[in-house]
Structure 1
Amino acid sequence: MVSEIKTLVTFFGGTGDLAKRKLYPSVFNLYKKGYLQEHFAIVGTARQDLSDAEFKQLVRESIADFTEDQAQAEAFIEHFSYRAHDVTDAASYNVLKLAIEEAAQKFDIEGNRIFYMSVAPRFFGTIAQYLKSEGLLATTGYNRLMIEKPFGTSYATAEALQNDLEDAFDDNQLFRIDHYLGKEMVQNIAALRFGNPIFDAAWNKDYIKNVQVTLSEVLGVEERAGYYDTAGALLDMIQNHTMQIVGWLAMEKPESFNDTDIRAAKNAAFNALKIYDEAEVNKYFVRAQYGAGDSADFLPYLEEKDVPADSKNNTFIAGELQFDLPRWEGVPFYVRSGKRLAAKQTRVDIVFKAGKFNFGSATPAQESVLSILIDPKGGVQFTVNAKRVSDAFDTRTIDLGWQASAEDKQNTPEPYERMIHDAMDGNGSNFADWNGVATAWRFVDAISAVYTADKAPLETYKSGSMGPDASDQLLAANGDKWFYTGQ
């Protein structure tokens, strides 16, 4: 039996695409599961001038594909209201304040306010400060701020944003969203690692040879050249999603599984991440752009619409991360992400050291690999050594695997549903904290500085491949190779 959550959520950007595609269906799922019952309210706000009835119709359409019982949907929609609002105008906040207070009174909600910012990042600090100065924060219960990425565009801008937010909110009231942390198989990293003594005991330099994180995409830049050419794979995928996944892999074992201890354990690892100088960036990182492929549909990046002809933007990044911790001494963490690659895949491959026992055969034992398949098909695969079927005692690798069933997938909460629920519960385990964000930016800024100055090679790779040869050579320098080859 679930417990009812009493809360009032205000969605800034309430008429936007994210709200319609993800946020309102996620809140509806929480309602259908019983987490939200009678004492909740949703206030939408944006510049668009809509009546309550028009806004409710927008919500009705956004949840249509998730509606089995129309009467249930209508009861849910009754908890929604809307006010047009200019986030840059202090006087406009009084209109929003009255709407929030009316909704709180109507549904008997004392305090417990969440403000979700699905707006352009340049407004984050402005909204936070006006929420406080214009009296929109609750005086009882809690106040929490949910913030979409990107959290800054560099360490300096992220720090400035953090300072602005902390003028109105304590850091433990800030919930920085990275939806990858809401993915079921990312959360499974903790279960696999800490729930199985065989892995828990071996999660260190004595048994692990290297760790690999792959976030590959088959699509090119599509219609996003205006944004993507200023960000590239480094800022679009490495600074946020990849680093947050690495946090779960590299973290120390937490004292307990609450958000405070989990963040402390992650920060022990993040604080030990080595920041590279120019020579080290060139040694440990590879940047590249996609070129043509076998299909005529695969244009080289420089020929894509709205991409500058002289662009040096990275559409592929591969690199080695190092953690100055006894646990990880000498263990490289390899990361890669790129567009126009051979397959869409988000996965983690933990490569264990090969056994040294001599079977007297021509095929010695190979490295065992634990693979956590995050997208598009959730699953776990463990590649281990076994005897080959032959007269001689030769070895081979076999796969022990599990894949999420159709029922598992149907019952899996969407990342945004999980993260909204966690924010309502005050559980920050699956949100990025300031220390982790700051460390990621300091690490990435050091790489960006080299690339901005054009002091690193820019490789090219064939569309439909898994990246440039230099990516393979990066690992080969350590006697390693990518486990996932795109097959």
Structure 2
Amino acid sequence: LQIMSYVVMDKPDSLNSKDMLVKQKSIMEEISLDDIVLGQYDKNEDYIGYRSEKNVNPNSQIETYAAVKVHINKGQLKNVPIYLRTGKRLTQRATYIKIIFKPSSSNLYSNLHQEVITIKVQPDEGISLSFNAKKPGTINTITDVKMDFCQSCILENRINTPEAYERLLDDAFGHDDTLFTPWPIVEMSWKFGEAVRALVKRENRPLVLYPANSQGPSESDEMLQRDGFIWLDEDEISY
């Protein structure tokens, strides 16, 4: 939720923590919950289910997966659907953001692909852009191409990139709280969690099971399919 707020918030007046907080708080106040799927991983051929894990209640109703649909109530991104998912025992362990542009309204070309920006957070840092371009040659045909920048693939960047918590500790000693989550944002995140719980209780949403080492429950796929979308893996583009 906090990563999403950084992506969709308006440009701050500066990069200091106070100006960042103003814009981040402004956007989080306008986030509305539309739909949710909660899941728990079950056994498969290689893994035991969550309820069979050590020190876990065999009747546990604790979720290990969540997918939500939200929208923002104002600004340039008003009513644009935003989907978030996170979970354990999935096929892929990665953090990334995909920004999918609206399809072109131009009728000059057919079979255009959707253009996508992918911001990679972990395990590899970087950014890629998938877009439409004319194929080389005399035929007037469009194809999809990709530009990719891998921050952590460059030796100099790997050497100079701080280790986990190294940057935070350095900022803490320097009294710079820009990278620390301020209490108002933590509080708003908890309020969003309460809204999720309220929706689940109000609509009696079930906790659905999904196989370990999978993409998650099929119900989360269906949530996107109702809007004409699909989940995209880190290196996938939308067609």
Out of 49, 63, 74, the residue aligned to residue 325 of structure 1 is 74
Pairs aligned (count): 234
Aligned partners of 1:486, 1:313: CA distance in 2, in Å? Answer: 30
Alignment partner of 1:416 is 2:188 = no
Q: Which has the higher contact order (CA 8 A, sep 6+)?
A: 2
* Aligned with 1:356 (options 105, 121, 143): 105
Partner of 2:26: 268
- For residue 336 of structure 1, report the CA deviation from its aligned partner: 0.5
The structure in which a higher percent of residues are strand is: 2
Note the residue ranges of structure 2 that are not aligned, 5 or more in a row: none
Match of 2:130 in 1: 383
CA distance in 2, matches of 1:268, 1:397: 36
Deviation of 1:431 after TM superposition, in Å, equals: 1.1
Report if the CA contact (8 A) 1:347-1:374 is conserved.
Answer: yes
Is residue 2:97 matched to residue 1:339? no
Instruction: Return the offset for 1:451.
Output: 4.7
Q: What SS is found at the alignment partner of 1:344? A: coil
Does the C-alpha gap of structure 1 residues 273 and 453 become closer, same or farther in structure 2, counting only changes over 3 Å? Answer: closer
User: Which of 194, 213, 222 is residue 473 of structure 1 equivalent to?
Assistant: 222
2:36 alignment partner in structure 1: 285
Q: Shift in Å at residue 465 of structure 1?
A: 1.6
CA deviations over 1:393-433 (Å, ceiling 9, x no partner): 33222110011213211210124111122222222221111
Tell me which residue corresponds to 1:370.
117
More helix by share: 1
Deviations 1:82-141 (A, max 9, x none): xxxxxxxxxxxxxxxxxxxxxxxxxxxxxxxxxxxxxxxxxxxxxxxxxxxxxxxxxxxx
Segments of 5+ residues of structure 1 without an aligned counterpart are 1-242
- 1:403 equivalent in structure 2: 150
Partner of 1:258: 16
Residues 407 and 290 (structure 1), Cα distance of their counterparts in 2 relative to 1, 3 Å cut: same
Larger radius of gyration: 1
* TM-score, structure 2 normalization: 0.88
Note closer, same or farther for the CA distance 1:396–1:461 as it changes in structure 2 (3 Å cut): farther
Matches within 5 A, 1:426-441: 426-441=175-190
Give per-residue Cα distances to partners, 1:353-389, cap 9 Å, x unaligned: 122222344x2x2211111111111111111112346
Structure 2 residue matching 1:285: 3-state secondary structure: strand
SS of the residue corresponding to residue 105 of structure 2 reads coil
In the alignment, the residues of structure 2 paired with residue 432 and residue 337 of structure 1 have an alpha-carbon distance, to the nearest angstrom, of 19
For residue 63 of structure 2, the aligned residue among 291, 305, 314 is 314
Q: What does 1:150-169 align with in structure 2 at a 5 Å threshold? A: none
Taking the aligned partners of 2:52 and 2:203, their CA distance within structure 1 comes to 21
Three-state SS of the structure 2 residue aligned to 1:248 is helix
Specify whether residues 410 and 454 from structure 1 end up closer, same or farther in structure 2 by C-alpha distance, changes over 3 A only: farther
Superposed CA deviations along residues 457-487 of structure 1, whole A, max 9, x for unmatched, are 2222222221111111212222222222787
Amino acid at match of 1:251: M
Q: Classify the secondary structure of the residue corresponding to 1:305.
A: coil
Letter in 2 for 1:314: E
1:51 — aligned with what?
none
2:96, 2:234 within 8 Å by CA — same for their partners in 1?
no
Map residues 7-156 of structure 1 onto 2, 5 A cutoff.
Answer: none
Q: Quote how far apart the aligned CAs of 1:247 are.
A: 2.0
Counterpart Cα distance in 1 of 2:68 and 2:195:
13
Q: How far is 1:455 from its partner? A: 1.9
TM-score (norm 1): 0.45
Q: Which amino acid aligns with 2:175?
A: G
Q: Deviations over 1:434-453 (max 9, x none)?
A: 21111110110121345578
